[in-house]
């Protein structure tokens, strides 16, 4: 029996753990939280912070059991995965050095630029004055980001109405390094992608149109409200996406692995906003892609982590159902008194996942400043787009959120 080391046993990892068990693998789980929801699902659990490189490295060096592969679901730790693979001579997408560089949004763009990846204009920002100069050069709007954070923490969209000094200090407070990155904001179709790289060839399985309907409401914070699969793209645009992702994979030395992207389609061109050498979280690879395409994404990601050869025929679309992810948001700051989805959702076959991140008695923050402050989520499927839109409207109308 093959053994799979899974870094993280929280909510984002549940589907991956279950898939590994379904595949007959022996699962070893690490997490800082011994009460996390996946602890009882893995065959063996160890309380280790998966974001602490030294702690994970120490565990792996001292662990006496067999490890045949290592993986993480929805956790942005490619450098730690690469280090584990290096220590145990396991297959992984790329080297520790390149994985670590991919985590820095500025350094990653520098590498991508050398490989001819189409990027929005960007600059490294070390001082407030440099931010002012970059805005003068790029023009509004621009996006200011910490170079080493995720979940939209510290990410701001700046317009002529924005208090620049405040945004600079706010974004800087979420960054452990002494520089930020500012980028030209592109207003085209925003796309999330998830691709396999097999023997250097890219197979983009997951494509979702990101929903930014609350861009102005939560401004200057950039808060996504889920997305819709499939996006309105033709075959030529999909081919262009594969070409850009292939260049990204080459930039980071990925010949076999998974790569996720944030893209913009503008004026018939594909721009790469960010790429990550990991599986996405938020149910994209675990629920949305399989429901939309029929491709068991997690299964093949696990097989790649084990060094198995993938028959690329299994990566072909088998179905094309419409899938939408939406989030539940607070409407004011205060104590949450009630959170409840309507009863009919329990038995509705078109509601494939739902849940709340908060519980009654917790404090809701408003306005929402980052993705972890959203209260909950739901995923619905349908054979027609209008059916899915009607279902989303009904869920929003009948879900109870009480805050005082």
In terms of DSSP bridges, do strands 142-146 and 156-158 run parallel, antiparallel, or are they unpaired? antiparallel
Higher pLDDT, 224 or 150: 224
Per DSSP (E only), the strands in 119-256 are: 122-125, 142-146, 156-158, 180-184, 189-198, 201-210, 227-229
Task: Copy the structure tokens of residue 234.
Answer: 């033709």
Q: Which letter does DSSP use for residue 127 in this model?
A: S
Spatial distance between the Cα atoms of 264 and 270, rounded to a whole number of angstroms = 6
Task: Copy the structure tokens of residue 108.
Answer: 């990653």
Spatial distance between the Cα atoms of 221 and 225, rounded to a whole number of angstroms = 12
Overall average pLDDT of the 52-65 stretch = 97
- What is the per-residue pLDDT across 196-234, written as a single tens digit (0 to 9) for each? 999 999 999 999 999 999 999 999 999 999 999 999 999
All domains of the chain in start order, with CATH: 3-92 (3.40.50.20), 103-115+189-319 (3.30.470.20), 121-184 (3.30.1490.20), 321-404 (3.30.470.20)
Q: What are phi and psi of 140, to 5 degrees?
A: -75, 155
Task: Quote the Cα angle for 332-148-367, to 5°.
Answer: 10
Which residues touch 52 (CB under 8 Å, ≥6 apart)?
32
Residue 162 pLDDT greater than 80, yes or no = yes
Q: Tell me, what's the pLDDT at 303?
A: 96
Spatial distance between the Cα atoms of 339 and 375, rounded to a whole number of angstroms = 9
Q: Is 334 left (phi over 0), alpha (psi -120 to 50) or beta?
A: left
Q: Tell me, what's the pLDDT at 318?
A: 77
Helix axes of 297-305 and 14-22: crossing angle, nearest 10 degrees: 70
Overall average pLDDT of the 175-191 stretch = 94
Overall average pLDDT of the 98-120 stretch = 96
Q: Which residue has the tokens 């409200």?
A: 225
- What is the per-residue pLDDT across 261-279, written as a single tens digit (0 to 9) for each? 999 999 999 999 999 998 8
| 61: helix, strand or coil | helix
Alpha helices in 47-201 (DSSP H): 53-62, 78-88, 96-102, 105-114, 128-138, 164-172
pLDDT band at 345; cut points 50, 70, 90: very high
Q: Tell me, what's the pLDDT at 79?
A: 96
Stated as kind and residue range, the H or E segment containing 394 is helix 385-398
Which residues touch 391 (CB under 8 Å, ≥6 apart)?
350, 351, 380, 382
pLDDT band at 143; cut points 50, 70, 90: very high
Residue 280 pLDDT greater than 90, yes or no = no
Q: Tell me, what's the pLDDT at 214?
A: 94
Residue 179 pLDDT greater than 90, yes or no = yes
Residue 282 pLDDT greater than 90, yes or no = no
Mean pLDDT over each residue of the chain, to the nearest integer = 94
Share of the chain above pLDDT 70, in %: 100
Q: Tell me, what's the pLDDT at 108?
A: 96
* Cβ(104)–Cβ(110) below 8 Å: no
Residue 102 pLDDT greater than 90, yes or no = yes
- What is the per-residue pLDDT across 18-41, written as a single tens digit (0 to 9) for each? 999 999 999 999 999 999 999 999
Q: Tell me, what's the pLDDT at 297?
A: 94
The pTM assigned to this predicted structure is 0.92
Overall average pLDDT of the 80-98 stretch = 95
Residue 12 pLDDT greater than 90, yes or no = no
The string of DSSP letters for 175-187 reads -SSS-EEEEE---
Overall average pLDDT of the 187-201 stretch = 95
Residue 96 pLDDT greater than 90, yes or no = yes
């Amino acid at each position: 029996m093959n053994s799979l080391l899974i870094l993280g046993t929280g909510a984002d990892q549940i589907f991956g753990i279950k898939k590994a068990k379904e595949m007959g693998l022996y699962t070893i789980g690490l997490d800082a939280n011994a009460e996390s929801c996946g602890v009882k699902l893995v065959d063996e659990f160890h309380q280790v912070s998966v974001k602490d490189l030294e702690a994970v490295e120490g565990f792996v060096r001292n662990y006496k059991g067999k490890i045949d592969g290592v993986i993480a679901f929805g956790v942005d730790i490619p450098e730690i995965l690469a280090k584990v693979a290096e220590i145990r001579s396991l297959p992984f997408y790329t080297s520790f050095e390149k994985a670590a560089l991919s985590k820095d949004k500025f350094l990653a763009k520098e590498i991508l630029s050398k490989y001819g990846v189409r990027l929005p204009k960007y600059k490294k920002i070390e001082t407030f004055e440099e931010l002012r100069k970059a805005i003068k050069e790029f023009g509004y709007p621009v996006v200011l980001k910490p170079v080493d954070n995720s979940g939209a923490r510290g990410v701001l969209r700046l317009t002529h109405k924005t208090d620049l000094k405040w945004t600079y200090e706010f974004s800087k407070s979420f960054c452990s390094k002494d520089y930020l990155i500012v980028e030209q904001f592109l207003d085209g179709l925003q796309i999330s992608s998830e691709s396999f790289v097999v023997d250097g060839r890219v197979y983009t399985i997951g494509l979702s149109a990101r929903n930014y309907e609350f861009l102005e409401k939560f401004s200057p914070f950039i808060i996504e409200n889920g997305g819709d699969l499939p996006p309105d793209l033709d075959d030529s645009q999909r081919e262009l996406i594969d070409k850009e992702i292939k260049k990204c994979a080459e930039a980071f030395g990925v010949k076999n692995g998974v790569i996720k992207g944030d893209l913009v389609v503008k004026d018939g061109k594909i721009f790469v906003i960010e790429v990550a050498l990991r599986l996405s979280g938020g149910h994209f690879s675990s629920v949305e892609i399989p429901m939309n395409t029929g491709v068991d994404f997690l299964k093949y990601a696990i097989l790649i982590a084990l060094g198995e050869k993938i028959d690329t025929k299994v990566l072909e679309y088998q179905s094309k159902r419409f899938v939408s992810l939406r989030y539940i948001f607070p409407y004011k700051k205060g104590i949450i008194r009630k959170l409840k989805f309507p009863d009919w959702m329990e038995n509705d076959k078109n509601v494939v996942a739902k849940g709340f991140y908060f519980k009654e008695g917790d404090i809701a923050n408003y306005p929402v400043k980052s993705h972890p402050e959203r209260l909950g989520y739901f995923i619905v499927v349908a054979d027609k787009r209008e059916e899915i839109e009607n279902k989303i409207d009904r869920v929003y109308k009948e879900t109870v959120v009480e805050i005082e």
